[in-house]
Amino acid sequence: MNCQTNETMQSIFGRYSCRDFAETPLSEAQIDALAKAAAAAPSAMNRQPWQIVMVTDKAFIEELDAEGLRILKAAQDPARYDRVVSRGGKLFYNAPCMVMVATDGSQYADIDCGILSQNVCLAAYSLGLGSVICAMAGIPLSGPRGDELKKRLRFPPGYRFGIAVLTGSANTVNPPHELDMEKVEII
């Protein structure tokens, strides 16, 4: 099989974690495509243990960013805060769209949310967009304003943060990570 001519394989091998997004908002067609890619993700027993929230309100994303930074700055261990500051001081890298995934916390929900996030990343790449899976999007939801923010994000009662994917037009394009085939065993 020639991986260079297969569009799916090109997306898998070409995508990278984008941490430098342009201000350009996504089009309605791009948002719709990403939402459908998320909803198309397989899940254990097709339980779909998630609620997908497409956040395109830039002011709300910036509010979440500021709240997350405030929480990190107040933490006893400054390592994560220092790392964010060294990368430009933005938790969400100026992304114009955040695909926020809430989960019901059921047995396979974390794995299912991981699958969903990869669907979104590959769809974003195929649309010419950058993306990065962002577990740090849970930070603002873990602080004193967490319940308020979850309500504004329309999390169903009892749901918690699962994962998020940031996406948008990339300011800079980076190469994907090097494959480490020593991590693979074929039996």
Q: State pLDDT tens for residues 102-136.
A: 999 999 999 999 999 999 999 999 999 999 999 99
Backbone angles phi, psi at 37, to 5 degrees: -60, -40
In the predicted model, is pLDDT for residue 162 greater than 70?
yes
Q: Considering only residues 51 and 173, tell me which one the structure prediction assigns the higher pLDDT.
A: 51
Short-list 20, 99, 96, 19, CA closest to 58: 96
**Residue 97 backbone dihedrals phi, psi, to 5 degrees:** -140, 135
What is the rounded CA–CA span in Å between residue 22 and residue 129? 10
pLDDT of residue 111: 97
Distance of alpha carbon 163 from alpha carbon 178, whole angstroms: 24
State pTM to two decimals: 0.93
Q: Specify the pLDDT at position 112.
A: 98
pLDDT tens digits, 2-35: 666 788 898 889 899 999 999 999 999 999 999 9
CA 101, chain centre distance (Å): 8
- C-alpha to C-alpha distances, 84 to 19, 80, 91, 108, nearest whole angstrom: 11, 6, 6, 30
Q: What is the DSSP letter of 21?
A: B
Residue 64 has pLDDT above 80, yes or no: yes
Q: pLDDT grade, residue 65 (50/70/90)?
A: very high
**112: Cβ–Cβ under 8 A, 6 or more apart, which residues?**
41, 42, 43, 44, 47, 48, 49, 50, 103
Domains of the chain: 18-171 (3.40.109.10)
